[in-house]
Structure 1
Amino acid sequence: LAIASFTCLAHIPRFWDRPGLRWLVLIAAMVLLATAALVRQNGLVAVLMAAIVLGVLRRCEGWRRALVWAVGALVATLVLAQVLAAVAQPKSAGEDKAGGIGVRIVQHYDLIGAMAHDPTYRVSRIEQAHPAAAAAMRRGVTVYSPERVDFFERDPTLGPNIWPMPNDLVGAEWRNLITKHPKAYLAHRADVFGWVFLTPKLERCLPVFVGVEGPEPLVASLNLVNGRDPADISLANYATYFYGTPVFSHVVYALIALAVAGFLLWRRDEADYAIAGLMLSALGFTASFFVISIACDYRYLYFLDLAAMTGLFYLALDPSLRRSSDTDPRSIPA
């Protein structure tokens, strides 16, 4: 979705003097970005970068008009995302609490992770208000792993003790951790980010999934059957040939994205700004996982890998240092 939206932005300069096509492409880009932000909240990084790109593309109108275009696109996309969220929410689903639950999971992970990295760190607020929960969190250190938060399930007493705590209490303790004990917090976060970005044990980070697996009632309702057939197994085996190679390396794709962005910003064709924005948004999206990652699943950074591939493909179409069709931004009709 994000890649398609930046592709739309890359065509904006060509269509600017044709209002019908211009607005069609702009609206398509905003719909794609709004949907991307709904699919994954840190997709907002792409929304912000796309707004900046649009402003840069309209710099020929002066910085005030360019700023209006950028801010207008940003606000319109955010509003559109809210509208799409309201439309997509089933009436019988009730209040959407997924965001709040996700924040609590990150907070639990960070607090216990900080304890694991600094044995002297204490959750003093929780100790005073809920000593049993604090004790459970201390025991949770034994099942903690920077690989993924799921290992907390190995301690059946942990969840029942920590989830009943008020959000305000956990939030206050978490903020205190970040502001008063940054070394413990950053050590934990660096370890977790290392797992999702570097994938030191790739096979543990689920780089490939084949077959059908899920709750039996749900699978049956879809007329599917849990399991893997010979074709699934063959496909998974084929993928393993590329383990340990650049094909499954987020680091390699990050370096490619960085190199492509640098080259395009140096060449500075109008369309180059959009593709460079795509590269930078993918890198920013990746960086956001330093704060929010809770597992090393390879799929979390697919956007980075695909964006880097897109950038390489774009350069392959025209690798010249200066395009023969170079466009002076001042010549693009306002």
Structure 2
Amino acid sequence: MSIEVKEISKSYGGQKALDAVSFSINKGEIVGFLGPNGAGKSTLMKILTTYLNADTGTASVNGSDVAADQKEVQKAVGYLPEHNPLYLDLYVREYLAFNADVYKVNKNRIEEVINLTGLTPEAHKKIGALSKGYRQRVGIATALLHDPEVLILDEPTTGLDPNQLVEIRDLIKNIGSDKTVFLSTHIMQEVEAICDRVIIIDHGRIVTDKKLKNLVKDTKVEQVIEVEFDKAVSMETLQQLPSLTDARNTKGNIWELTFTSGTDMRPAVFDFAQANSLKTLQLSLKNKNLETVFREMTKKK
């Protein structure tokens, strides 16, 4: 087991950041850790990397306890914090050499991580002269210097432009081919493109933990259908539709119909049209994706 978390709780004063959180991650998985701001993501990552101590519960990385075996955990983990700390006046190789001394790794490893993270074209520059995307690459290169088995990335794509997003996404996927990767992000498309599994946390508690391919399929969320009828229909008539929770007339005879149902409601809309002497000129189901599932899981009750 690469990461194991059992009943971890952490409070700041009277505010509980983590409330009896438990999960485990197998070797080689790429797991997305999602949650609203303040949900407890960064706190848990700091506990796993030994920057913080939990109030109660236990956690281990590669079998080493994060409280009792901190040195072993630090050897096993590469960490990119949310606010990537870099010395902007240092050259890329100079900065990596400094960190190589900290980790006590062979200097040959510097060129290996430069090549691995695609830093070669910019490696001769000062970090302060790099774009945000290349600065993130420097942070990831630093996290990889000691060849850790587990990579923990806190918001690795924040502030990147679309091209940089694709580049960092591909880099993380490549790294994940032989390492366990645990990453947090607010960008749902990145999770869908990178991760095998998703853990969602809200108010310090795990609200779901599933394989990505099953999460959207298994989660009951509001279903939105867009339909265009051949003539006007009243709101009162639409109320005949089962499981309808909202109906919004967007333009002319086009309606957005919202249902709470685990089954595709398009056949019901078609049958409704026939029963009321209407024709459906278009009928489409708006895609249910990770973003809709996330909103459903973390919406205020």
| TM-score, normalised with respect to structure 2 | 0.26
- Name the structure where strand makes up a greater proportion of residues: 2
- Name the structure where helix makes up a greater proportion of residues: 1
| TM-score, normalised with respect to structure 1 | 0.24
Higher RCO structure (Cα 8 Å, ≥6 apart): 1
